[in-house]
Amino acid sequence: MTFIQALGAEISYIPVIEQPSAAPIVMLKALRSRDAAMPFIMLTVLIDMVAIGLIIPVLPSLVGSFAGSKADQAYWYGVVTFSFGISNFLMSPILGALSDQHGRRPVLLLGFLGLGVSFFGTALATAMWVLIAVRVVAGAMQANAAIANAYVADITPSDKRAKRFGLLGAMMGLGFIIGPVMGGLLGAINLQLPFFVAGSLAMVNFLYGYFVLPESLTHAQRKPFSWRVANPVASLRKLSQLKGVGPLVGVVAFSGLAQFVLYTSWVLYTSFKFGWGPLENGWSLAMVGIVSVAVQGFLLGRLLKIFSPQRLAVIGLISSALAYALWGAATQGWMMYAVIGVNVFGVTVAASVQSLISSAADSRSQGQTLGAVSALNSLMAVVAPMLAAPLLALVSHYPRGDWRIGAPFYFCSLLQLVSLGLAIVHFRRHRRSVHAARDADNAGQTKSEQDLQLLR
């Protein structure tokens, strides 16, 4: 998965469930307003991602202002990240089910309000426990990215959804380019300033959604709340039971965990290794966003014409494993940018693997299957801080430039190698099963021809 997808997965999970079609008359009446709703939701997602991107370069430094040492900073940053992740993982499916019952708009408004509370509360926090409490509440209140996807599914015919999901992804990427740069520039002035600006943007989004954003889910499409649906564990169980997926579930888990460890470690690692501050980290994260948007928006389609999804996944995992190792071994800041620029194939892993898993599911369970993939990624977002923070604390005492500070990235490289092994095993098994099925068909056809000749 890409850095941007990792961020999205951390803050959201709901299964996008296919809704029954509304009556034709209702559909005709709603058509114009639903078409007009697409620019509204795109602007909403853009503002949302800019606000989130604003705080990424400065949150570790803010945590550090309450910590007594680098090791304490790494530990408490892991706690703060974990507190948001576990709260969001448990509550996002419930918010998704509530959006099926009450509509997308009220749940989106709750999410914008939750972000505003989170940002303002973080800026005004005077102690570590306040910061943690604010993040727990914020994680429980919002699942904006996933509900935005459900919103687009509501207003878009099935044959146009891929294009519109791409537009939504482009808005996320653009927001992730703008947000970290703004956060770095503002954080260089004052550490709390990016949080006040992000909170203000969240409230602008709330007002925009309240007065402008139309509801996407008609009353005929709404479903009663069900605890059975609002359960990420059940989704994960069904994903593991999906035929034709096998070890690919492990690929999603391990590669996703590597990405989230990277996401958790990036700012503190560059601070310990190169002495970077919010400004330098903001620019580096913007570079990640630019490469991700360029690859997914322009290069991925061309690459898929040259390579099969299976081969592209293998190449991407190899590229990612090398990139993590090189990031960990980098001795100068410019090397981080160089690796970001050349790790083009690594950006394609998530799309390649997700397409293979989607192909293994039947047409009636696409939403549930991809929702389960999102749940698995969200679970990895919860696990990652528990691994990244101790690794950072363990190496925080080494001098700047020491190769051992890269321990979290070496761990990520190992995770990608495990993913690579699982992918190769799966593709070989799949190839053998296809050949066996083909041989069985040929044998059956030959026997039928022989029987026919005997009858003659």
Each domain of the chain, given as residue ranges in start order, spans 3-432
Q: How far, in Å, CA of 419 to CA of 441, rounded?
A: 33
- Sign of the dihedral through C-alpha 260, 422, 344, 320: positive
- Say which amino acid occupies 269: Y
The pLDDT score that the predictor gives to residue 321 is: 95
Q: How far, in Å, CA of 203 to CA of 113, rounded?
A: 7
The pLDDT score that the predictor gives to residue 31 is: 43
Q: Average pLDDT in the 363-375 region? A: 56
Q: What percent of the chain has pLDDT over 90?
A: 13
The pLDDT score that the predictor gives to residue 26 is: 45
The H or E element spanning position 26 is: helix 24-55
Question: The domain 3-432: what is its CATH number?
Answer: 1.20.1250.20
Place of tokens 């990139």: 323
Q: How far, in Å, CA of 284 to CA of 205, rounded?
A: 27
Q: How far, in Å, CA of 402 to CA of 396, rounded?
A: 10
Q: How far, in Å, CA of 188 to CA of 186, rounded?
A: 5
Put simply, whether the predicted model's pTM sits higher than 0.75 gets the answer: no
Contact 125, 82 (CB under 8 A): no
The pLDDT score that the predictor gives to residue 1 is: 54
Place of tokens 């190792």: 325
Of the two residues 345 and 362, the one the predictor is more confident about is: 345
Of the two residues 29 and 303, the one the predictor is more confident about is: 303
The pLDDT score that the predictor gives to residue 359 is: 62
> What confidence tier does 12 reach under pLDDT thresholds 50, 70, 90?
very low
Q: How many CA atoms does the CB half-sphere of 3 hold within 13 Å?
A: 30
Contact 274, 402 (CB under 8 A): no
- What six digits make up the tokens of 187? 């954080």
The pLDDT score that the predictor gives to residue 182 is: 85
Q: How many CA atoms does the CB half-sphere of 105 hold within 13 Å?
A: 16
Place of tokens 């559909």: 27
pLDDT at 284 over 60: yes
- What six digits make up the tokens of 34? 């639903």
Average pLDDT value for the chain: 77
Of the two residues 146 and 67, the one the predictor is more confident about is: 67
Q: Average pLDDT in the 115-120 region? A: 85
Of the two residues 141 and 406, the one the predictor is more confident about is: 406
- Sign of the dihedral through C-alpha 282, 283, 289, 293: positive
Query: How deeply is 147 buried, as exposed, middle or buried, from its count of CB atoms within 10 A (0-12, 13-18, 19+)?
Result: buried
Q: How far, in Å, CA of 422 to CA of 428, rounded?
A: 10
Q: How far, in Å, CA of 206 to CA of 354, rounded?
A: 32
Contact 331, 403 (CB under 8 A): yes
The pLDDT score that the predictor gives to residue 404 is: 93
